[in-house]
Structure 1
Amino acid sequence: MVGRSSKRAAKAVRLVRDAQATQQQILDAAEQEFARNGLKGARMSAIATGAQVTSATLHYYFENKENLYKAVLQRPVNEVQAILVQQNFDALAPEAALKQMIRIAIANEAANPQRQMLWFQEASQNQGAYFKECHVLALHKHLLKVLERGMAEGTFRPLKPFLALTHILSVCLFYFTVHENWKHLTPEVDRLTSEMIEEHTEAAITFILAGIRR
């Protein structure tokens, strides 16, 4: 009896892991397809091919294209939130905390450069109708808190926190939005190498701090 129970438990764990792996494959393929074509232009058949699964499998896990799209948009938010909640920003001086946040933001985009086009497609095609459901403000509250603390302590000059957040994110992330265009202007330069990303990171930190220090 014990042996059979152990086998059943092991099989159940394996099935859960297989299901999770399959869903990740689907989300990876869907993210690429939605980043290229947006919700309206994306094809479920292309996603199934990219994920190496059947269309029936897509519908089994996500039911329809809209649900899959929502899951694709939510995944980056969840991933970054998982990173941010592990940090103890309150233990750092505001400037040090801001530097850490900049590094996290740029490193995450460098690992997933297609995501800027995903957000662009959402803004262009849907005017943010699905974006508003992604609880992005839960991410922004970390940066807003650091900016407000920095102003209260006199480290940062008086700022409108949400406007400053917009400017900071623009400095960090537009680099990846424009990459597909700029690579044609300077084809000899690969701006996604680790060396170039580090150069961008250090330049972004210097630029942002110069703009918000008191």
Structure 2
Amino acid sequence: MARSHPIKKQFRDAEATQKQILDAAELEFARHGIKGARMSDIADRAQITTATIHYYFENKEGLYKAVLQRPVNEVQAMVSQLKLNDLSPEEALKQIIRVAIAYEAKNPHRQMLWFQEASQNQGFYFKQSNVESLHEHLIQVLNRGMKAGCFRPLDPFLTLTHILSVCLFYFTVHENWKHLNSGSDRLSQEMVEKHTEAAIEFILAAVKN
């Protein structure tokens, strides 16, 4: 009978444990920020000991940084697979919008991480999470579109802000706005697809010549 390699098993176990910790920490930080979240609550949610958290992430600050960095890394990997340079600026912009909304739909509470970071720390840790690497993809698409003449003259960074607002605000306000139309599940696949198509139409109408 074949036996699993102990080193590979240890790696898989370590990877699974770290994910378990990050998942639990993400929820606590989204609710309370770094100042209000407690390591004991994170450990309880993850069903591990606080010593285990310290083993992998050293302290609460290290864990918080890892939690903020994870979505940046995940979206970076997704966008990198799109091969945006092979697409027209209009099609590239559509694909970025689709990825941004689909990702938020799977992780609707993550916007609260950034809200807590802005509120509590004025972006001190945000600026360490390499978010600019994500912004560059969209800015390059906008610049290509303007150069090709298919997009009107734009301020790329301001336009990026507007585009992200259109895509993500839907999820940021979900817990409030769900009460405005209680008969509709705004996070259902049907509603998210409707939001996606509306966002694409709205944004393209705003940027095209």
* Smaller-chain TM-score bracket: over 0.9
Counterpart Cα distance in 2 of 1:211 and 1:163? 13
CA RMSD of aligned residues (A): 1.3
In the other structure, the counterpart of 1:92 is: 87
In the other structure, the counterpart of 2:186 is: 191
Matches within 5 A, 1:48-197: 48-197=43-192
Matches within 5 A, 1:35-46: 35-46=30-41
In the alignment, structure 1 residue 21 sits paired with structure 2 residue 13: no
Please identify, of 167-176 and 51-60, the stretch whose mean Cα deviation from structure 2 is larger: 51-60
Post-superposition CA distance 1:190-214 (Å, at most 9, x none): 1000000000000000000010000
User: Which structure has the bigger radius of gyration?
Assistant: 1
Amino acid at match of 2:173: V
Amino acid at match of 1:70: K
Unaligned stretches of 5+ residues in structure 2: none
**Residue 55 (structure 1) shift:** 1.1
Counterpart Cα distance in 2 of 1:39 and 1:64? 11
**Residue 187 (structure 1) shift:** 2.0
Counterpart Cα distance in 1 of 2:190 and 2:82? 25
| Alignment equivalent of 2:27, drawn from 5, 27, 32 | 32
Identity %: 68
* Cα contact 2:76–2:134 (8 A) shared by 1: yes
Counterpart Cα distance in 1 of 2:53 and 2:85? 42
In the other structure, the counterpart of 1:201 is: 196
Unaligned stretches of 5+ residues in structure 1: none
TM-score normalised over the length of structure 1: 0.95
